[in-house]
Chain A
Amino acid sequence: MNAVAARVGGIGWTHPRTIGIVGIVLGALAFWLALPPLASRTAALPVAIGILAVAAGIWTFSRDERRVGGGAIAAGLLGIAFGVLATRSSSTHLDQVVVWSALGAATLRYATPLIYAAIGGLFCERSGVINVALEGMLLTGAFFGIWGAIWAQSWAGGAAWLVGVGSAALAGMVLATVHAIWAIHLKVDQIISGFALNFLALGITGYLFIDKYGDTGTPGDVPGIPDVHIHFLQNWYFVGPIIGQLNLMIWLSFVLLVGTYILVFRTPFGLRLRAVGEHPRAADTVGISVYKVRYVAVIASGAIAAMGGAYLSIGFVHSFNEGMTNGTGFIGLAALVFGKWRPFPTWGATLLFGFSSALADRLPNAYGNQWGTLFQALPYLLTLVAVAGVIGRSIGPAAAGRPYEKQ
């Protein structure tokens, strides 16, 4: 806490960083003003505020705060573009699409599988093992989650979803164990084994799905993960509709997030994990078992990502289909890269990507299918920009992708 206070205290109000952040906020404001409930009908307002944001960004950028400055310039330009677009469109259409409380709730729903995938990836990659198999782990979790829940329906009753989540986590761990053995002991290229696992997960879940539920699909009365009703919250303005009734797994993801932050950055295990990912030889020299830490991290990543998959099948859509994740795992990976392998920025990235999915979901209500479809590309585009280093480069753990050779 002291560190935070010192950092905040050390930054004056004219510090470039502060101005840059103000610029980013202004950029968002430019867009927001053009949307309901205010819904400014003149394009001049978003343009003016957006230009202010760009100016603040340039000022910051020229004072060597490139990340924040670049962010403010981008936010300002996007604010102008989207703001002007919004003022051009009819207000009934805007009202149909932009229902903030519904968007907020949908954002959380879409972001949840991403955050599980990204946190899973965070453990794995922080330990120095690249994980492109997140997609497969999610898919495995989705299938075995619903399979476990259906299997337990007759004897576990209301707690069948627990069996579902448990079997999802187990299946994810099995898949991750293969990745761990291949990456750590057999020293196979981690990207190759990751992609192999994606194929395997797709094939195995598809095969079992057709074999078990092929003709009719998964049954309609699958026991789902319960929602958490907070009754006193539900009537509150704006907040109520968003968090008054959320799925248990969403709340659990918040716990997971904070827990991950504490575990990775505030405990000896976390220090070891990061050391193994940055400089395994140094870690080995001081007596940390590189292999052990990596095994734990990779297997944990499988369990966590698979729980996200279980949320997808028995918490969100209540069914399973072949290849139903359709890139969700890769968006999770993108969020991890975009958030620079840190828990809270990664969470922010999943919320941003979840928001874009939620918006893509609602756009067809007023503007036709095609714009919603195009919007789905946004997370990937943003991540590409992030790795390109335009807005502060994303650099992963130094030893990621390299097998460690004991001496």
Chain B
Amino acid sequence: MTDELSAEEAIEPPPPPDGIPQPQQHFRSRFGGLKGAIAPLLTTILAFFMGGLVVLLTGKNPLRVYKAVWDGTGLNWFVHVGHHSARVPFGTAHMWFPWDTASIAAQNLQQTLLVTTPIILTGLAVAFAFRCGMFNIGGQGQYFAGTIFAVWLGSSFNGMAPWLHVLLCLAVGTVAGAVWAGIAGILKATVGAHEVISTIMLNWIAIWVGSYLFGQGGPLQNSAQKSIPISNDIFDGAKLPVFWGLKLLQGLSIGIFIALAMLIVYWIVINRTTLGFEVRAVGFNPEAARYGGVSVARNYFLAMAISGAFAGLAGAVDITGWEYRIGQNDIQLGGSSGIGFIGLAAALLGRNTTLGVGFASLLFGALINGTSGRQLDPSIFRPDLAGNLTTIIQGLVILFVGLNLGGVWVWLKRRRGA
């Protein structure tokens, strides 16, 4: 039996290891640069088109719905250069200073960017593991690990130096995410347990442990209101500074810069360090990497832990940036469509590249914010319907993004030309 198998493997190349989406990695090398953006763009357009069909089938005008969503995202703020007008006595005055920072659009944009921040980070989490040939489905659990520790530390140590307090929350949240993912990494590296199964299990363990901690009678539940399943608020010292908008109106914290910095860190680590080179080598072909003297097991563990660190940081940034507390309800809802899973969609759509993840995160952040109950005008479209529309569009994006539509398109064009 073993002889037959090895004979067969000698004839054909070894089958791709589990969990590596081969076509995508080939795609980048074949259609690198700008052309690499064609497929994700087509995917997005297709997903929005099909989402529009769903809206149409239930008797609503999809164009009006999408326009309302667009207005809610605040992305029109960028278009508003020179178009801002205000009422003054005896008429309307056109104000020409660009990009008014106090407009409704500006407030909406702040919300969009607040949502985008953790999506970038969980997207990077998925992308980093992907580069090592692993599928980190556990972003949500690692995000909760970061969240739980950030809330816990943030609501302890009153009177600590503010910058130290917030740094402590972020650092420990990051480490918590890394440890939680590291469990899956160690299992993969030592006994070869499939990381998809172990991270799914770790997700749900985190969800139920979190529900226990912040549920009624739980150890981290609000100490003042014993009947509400919610955590204590973190102290002011543990909050990230708000740099745009008002703190009371949930303005934009500097968390977005942390996320952007992490995008750069991701690019540097992946493309300019030995670690990144080894991680990519293992991701392309673990056997070849092993022959080349790379420790596959070590890189599986490291890649998973770093991946988890991104997701844990996402949770900590969310807590210190604008949520300031967490409820049992939030944790329960996260099980099916939480930030970790949206990060998965962002990484897939962004093809695990730095720019791609950034823009895909902005797309999903805008979509989520634009369809939220706070932003969407209910007379045009019910926000609870729109929230589900967002989920549908995310599903369609993930479904079509693996299809390599751009490849199909280029192939068709070439055939027509020939």
A interface with B by C-beta (< 8 Å): 130, 132, 135, 178, 182, 186-189, 191-193, 195-204, 206-207, 210-211, 214, 281, 322-323, 326-327, 330-331, 333-334, 337, 368-370, 373-374, 376-377, 380-381, 383-384, 387-389, 393, 396, 400-402
- Is B388 on the interface with A (CB-CB < 8 A)? yes
Tell me which of B102-110, B210-218, B303-311 binds A.
B210-218
**CA of A380 to CA of B201, assembled, Å:** 5
Tell me which residues across on chain B come within 8 A of A210, comparing CB atoms. 382, 384-385, 388
Question: 8 Å CB contacts to A: which residues of B350-400?
Answer: 382, 384-385, 387-399
Given contacts A202-B336, A327-B204, contact A189 B398 (CB under 8 A): no
A242 CB to nearest B CB, Å: 27
B364 CB to nearest A CB, Å: 12
Given contacts A203-B388, A203-B390, contact A182 B200 (CB under 8 A): no
**CA of A189 to CA of B402, assembled, Å:** 7
Q: Which 7 A-B pairs have the closest CB atoms?
A: A199-B395, A203-B391, A203-B392, A200-B395, A377-B208, A196-B399, A196-B398
**CA of A203 to CA of B385, assembled, Å:** 9
B208 and A199: CB pair below 8 A? no
B212 and A214: CB pair below 8 A? no
B74 CB to nearest A CB, Å: 23
Given contacts A377-B208, A387-B193, A388-B187, contact A191 B19 (CB under 8 A): yes
A387 and B196: CB pair below 8 A? no
A193 and B402: CB pair below 8 A? yes
Tell me which residues across on chain B come within 8 A of A204, comparing CB atoms. 54, 388, 392
B301 CB to nearest A CB, Å: 14
Task: Using A135-B336, A322-B388, A374-B208 as known contacts, list a sample of 15 further A-B pairs with CB atoms less than 8 Å apart, ordered by residue number in A.
Answer: A188-B21, A192-B402, A193-B399, A196-B395, A200-B396, A202-B336, A207-B392, A210-B384, A327-B204, A368-B216, A368-B217, A380-B208, A383-B201, A396-B194, A400-B18
Question: 8 Å CB contacts to A: which residues of B199-238?
Answer: 200-202, 204-205, 207-209, 211-212, 215-218
A387 and B187: CB pair below 8 A? yes
B344 CB to nearest A CB, Å: 7
Tell me which residues across on chain A come within 8 A of B10, comparing CB atoms. none
A350 CB to nearest B CB, Å: 16
- Is B149 on the interface with A (CB-CB < 8 A)? no
- Is B137 on the interface with A (CB-CB < 8 A)? yes
**CA of A380 to CA of B140, assembled, Å:** 15
Given contacts A334-B201, A377-B209, A387-B187, contact A198 B336 (CB under 8 A): yes
Which of these, A192, A195, A206, A337, contacts B391 with CB under 8 Å? A206
B48 CB to nearest A CB, Å: 13
> Closest residue to A204 on the B side, CB-wise?
B392
A401 and B403: CB pair below 8 A? no
13 residue pairs bridging A and B, Cβ less than 8 Å apart: A132-B196, A135-B336, A182-B403, A188-B402, A196-B399, A199-B341, A200-B395, A202-B336, A202-B337, A327-B335, A330-B204, A368-B216, A377-B205
Which of these, A130, A182, A198, A384, contacts B202 with CB under 8 Å? A384
Given contacts A182-B399, A369-B217, A384-B201, contact A402 B15 (CB under 8 A): yes
Tell me which residues across on chain B come within 8 A of A202, comparing CB atoms. 336-337, 388, 391, 395
**CA of A192 to CA of B399, assembled, Å:** 7
* Total residue contacts A-B, CB cutoff 8 A: 175
Tell me which residues across on chain B come within 8 A of A383, comparing CB atoms. 197, 201
**CA of A91 to CA of B54, assembled, Å:** 57
B386 CB to nearest A CB, Å: 9
Tell me which residues across on chain A come within 8 A of B202, comparing CB atoms. 380, 384
Which of these, A188, A281, A326, A387, contacts B335 with CB under 8 Å? A326
Tell me which residues across on chain B come within 8 A of A331, comparing CB atoms. 204
- Chain A CB within 10 Å, residue with most, of B18, B205, B208, B211: B208
B205 and A380: CB pair below 8 A? yes
Tell me which residues across on chain B come within 8 A of A200, comparing CB atoms. 391-392, 395-396, 399
Tell me which residues across on chain A come within 8 A of B395, comparing CB atoms. 196-203
B398 and A182: CB pair below 8 A? no
B138 CB to nearest A CB, Å: 11
A134 CB to nearest B CB, Å: 11
Given contacts A373-B212, A387-B198, contact A203 B389 (CB under 8 A): yes
**CA of A363 to CA of B341, assembled, Å:** 32
- Is B266 on the interface with A (CB-CB < 8 A)? no
Tell me which residues across on chain B come within 8 A of A198, comparing CB atoms. 336, 395
- Is B324 on the interface with A (CB-CB < 8 A)? no
Given contacts A196-B399, A206-B388, A370-B217, contact A389 B193 (CB under 8 A): yes
> Closest residue to A385 on the B side, CB-wise?
B201
Tell me which residues across on chain A come within 8 A of B402, comparing CB atoms. 182, 186, 188-189, 192-193, 196
B217 and A195: CB pair below 8 A? no
Given contacts A191-B135, A197-B395, A374-B212, contact A337 B16 (CB under 8 A): no
Tell me which residues across on chain A come within 8 A of B197, comparing CB atoms. 333, 337, 383, 387
> Closest residue to A374 on the B side, CB-wise?
B212
Tell me which residues across on chain B come within 8 A of A130, comparing CB atoms. 196
- Is B191 on the interface with A (CB-CB < 8 A)? yes
B15 and A369: CB pair below 8 A? no
**CA of A376 to CA of B292, assembled, Å:** 45
Tell me which residues across on chain A come within 8 A of B336, comparing CB atoms. 135, 198, 202, 323, 326-327
Tell me which residues across on chain A come within 8 A of B387, comparing CB atoms. 206
**CA of A401 to CA of B18, assembled, Å:** 6
B344 and A195: CB pair below 8 A? yes
A373 and B390: CB pair below 8 A? no
- Is B2 on the interface with A (CB-CB < 8 A)? no
- Is B348 on the interface with A (CB-CB < 8 A)? yes
**CA of A198 to CA of B342, assembled, Å:** 12
Tell me which residues across on chain A come within 8 A of B209, comparing CB atoms. 374, 377
B208 and A373: CB pair below 8 A? yes
